[in-house]
């Protein structure tokens, strides 16, 4: 196994995902993601949708980086699992179901924000937007940027009538 594959296998990102043979399952939302060999970029990008979990991951990653600088290239991961278990308890919170009236209203409001401000659909994946939404409505699961392909045109059609 090459060095990048070994590094990917011991990344702290795996504290937030269950590993399969060629995929991973997010422990927060249970979404299954394809994981190309020796890469965790897909997992890190997905984790950004969960601000609390992503913040915990960033802390773990920073701590690992500091540990590597202090001890050299080879490190042990003896305390990482317990740190992650303590950190992970904060992100098992109830979420609004997508068909709940409040969730539908929030999704429509996000679509109006995108349309009125001429924002890119990917604004819903930006850390600042995720942080704002999580601070104001932590139980709301922010839809992916692809939701805009249906919601924004529907909004436009209704406004045209």
Q: What is the pLDDT of residue 114?
A: 83
Helical pair 127-136 and 51-71, crossing angle rounded to 10 deg: 130
Between CA 88 and CA 14 the distance in angstroms is: 12
Of 5, 49, 134, 123, nearest to 17 by C-alpha is 49
Domain regions of the chain by residue span: 3-91, 101-160
Q: Which residue has the tokens 């839809």?
A: 143
Q: Are 141 and 96 in contact (CB under 8 A)?
A: yes
| pLDDT for 77 | 47
Contact in structure between 23 and 35 (CB atoms under 8 Å): yes
| Confidence at residue 26, expressed as pLDDT on a 0 to 100 scale | 92
Highest-confidence range of 3-12, 36-45, 107-116, 140-149, by mean pLDDT?
107-116
pLDDT tens, position by position, 16-51: 988 888 888 999 999 998 887 767 888 888 999 998
pLDDT in tens, 58-112: 888 888 776 666 655 544 444 444 444 444 444 445 677 777 888 889 888 888 8
pTM of the predicted structure, to 2 decimals: 0.41
Higher-confidence position of 77 and 116: 116
């Amino acid at each position: 196994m090459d060095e990048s594959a070994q590094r990917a296998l011991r990344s702290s990102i795996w504290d937030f995902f269950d590993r399969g043979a060629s995929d991973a399952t997010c422990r927060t939302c249970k979404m299954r993601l394809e994981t190309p060999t020796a890469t965790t970029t897909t997992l890190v990008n997905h984790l950004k949708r969960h601000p609390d979990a992503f913040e915990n991951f960033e802390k773990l990653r920073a701590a690992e980086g500091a540990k590597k600088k202090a001890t050299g290239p080879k490190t042990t991961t003896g305390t990482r699992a317990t740190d992650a278990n303590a950190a992970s308890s904060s992100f098992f919170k109830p979420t609004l179901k997508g068909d709940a009236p409040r969730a539908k209203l929030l999704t429509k409001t996000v679509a109006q924000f995108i349309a009125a401000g001429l924002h890119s659909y990917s604004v819903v994946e930006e850390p600042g937007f995720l942080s704002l939404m999580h601070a104001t409505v932590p139980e709301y699961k922010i839809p992916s940027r692809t939701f805009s392909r249906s919601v924004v045109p529907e909004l436009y059609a209704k406004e045209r009538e």
